[in-house]
């Protein structure tokens, strides 16, 4: 059973936010308005955070792409009263069942990464961007929670193709979420963490590898590679 995971190399991430836009296009997320952004209701399954530390002139700015960490022990799954969010034992992805969600937002309050998003209103697209482009992804109605699904629709396509060809989905390269595909700096890697032959599995053993808020025991499947250092010589 594959355990899909992602590696994000923070050294290479330039904060260009191409992944943010690619995700919105792929997953039919409507663009927000200025008011929604002001109110903190912007939906951005993939969100690149800018962390500013220190005082001038020793300021340090870093970029942290934050998306659903697809935890192995997800706090959100435990608290959902109707099981609308669940951990897939077969694929390792934390899924979201839109028709079942009752919109209580317990999962959103419980997630320490703040990566669950709620539809405060029914999503509206401007006429020129209608209809939303991707037929593989459901449009979420108002009142339900949504979040990154590692582009599970792409996994579905890969699986269908694999079934036709009577094989398994390849551990790396065949199924890639939109954000990973779009990254110009090639800072993101994606694949089956359990298959030790993949590049991604090797990178998980890097000295730079860490997970955000590991100490909470959520066991995320998104692994970050710390920024490197220039050594003279």
In whole angstroms, give the CA distance from residue 148 to residue 23.
9
Nearer to other proteins, 108 or 162 (CB): 108
* Chain residues 5-24 in contact with other proteins, contact rule CB under 8 A: 9, 11-12, 14-18, 20-21, 24
Q: In the bound complex, what is the minimum distance in angstroms from residue 221's beta carbon to other proteins?
A: 18
State the pairing for strand pair 145-146/117-118: antiparallel
> Does residue 100 interact with other proteins by CB under 8 A?
yes
Q: In the bound complex, what is the minimum distance in angstroms from residue 205's beta carbon to other proteins?
A: 17
The two tokens of residue 198 are: 């993949």
In whole angstroms, give the CA distance from residue 154 to residue 174.
9
**Candidate ranges 106-114, 149-157, 160-168, 170-178; the one touching other proteins (CB under 8 A):** 106-114
Return the biggest CA–CA distance within the chain. Answer: 59
Nearer to other proteins, 106 or 194 (CB): 106
> Does residue 187 interact with other proteins by CB under 8 A?
yes
**Candidate ranges 135-143, 165-173, 189-197, 201-209; the one touching other proteins (CB under 8 A):** 135-143
> SS in 3 state form for 30-52?
CCCCHHHHHCCCCCCCCEEEEEE
> Does residue 71 interact with other proteins by CB under 8 A?
no
In whole angstroms, give the CA distance from residue 6 to residue 193.
8
219 near 69, Cβ under 8 Å? no
Give the residue, chosen from 3, 26, 94, 113, that forms a contact with other proteins under the rule CB under 8 A: 113
Q: How many residues bind other proteins (CB under 8 A)?
A: 85
């Amino acid at each position: 059973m594959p355990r899909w995971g992602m590696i994000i190399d923070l050294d290479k991430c330039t904060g260009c936010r191409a992944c943010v836009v690619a995700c919105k296009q792929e997953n039919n997320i409507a663009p927000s308005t200025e008011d929604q952004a002001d109110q903190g209701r912007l939906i951005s399954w993939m969100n690149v955070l800018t962390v500013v530390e220190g005082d001038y002139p020793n300021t340090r700015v870093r970029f942290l792409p934050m998306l659903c960490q697809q935890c192995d022990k997800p706090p959100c799954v435990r608290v959902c009263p109707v099981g609308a969010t669940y951990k897939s034992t077969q694929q390792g992805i934390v899924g979201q069942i839109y028709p079942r969600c009752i919109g209580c937002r317990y999962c959103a309050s419980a997630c320490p990464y703040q990566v669950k998003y709620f539809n405060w209103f029914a999503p509206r697209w401007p006429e020129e961007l209608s209809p939303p482009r991707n037929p593989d992804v459901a449009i979420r109605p108002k009142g339900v929670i949504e979040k990154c699904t590692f582009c599970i629709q792409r996994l579905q396509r890969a699986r269908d193709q694999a079934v036709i060809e009577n094989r398994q989905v390849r551990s790396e390269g065949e199924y890639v979420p939109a954000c990973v595909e779009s990254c110009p700096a090639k800072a993101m890697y994606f694949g089956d963490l359990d298959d030790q032959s993949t590049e991604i599995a090797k990178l998980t053993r890097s000295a730079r590898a860490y997970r955000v808020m590991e100490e909470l025991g959520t066991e995320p499947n998104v692994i970050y590679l710390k920024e490197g250092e220039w050594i003279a010589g």
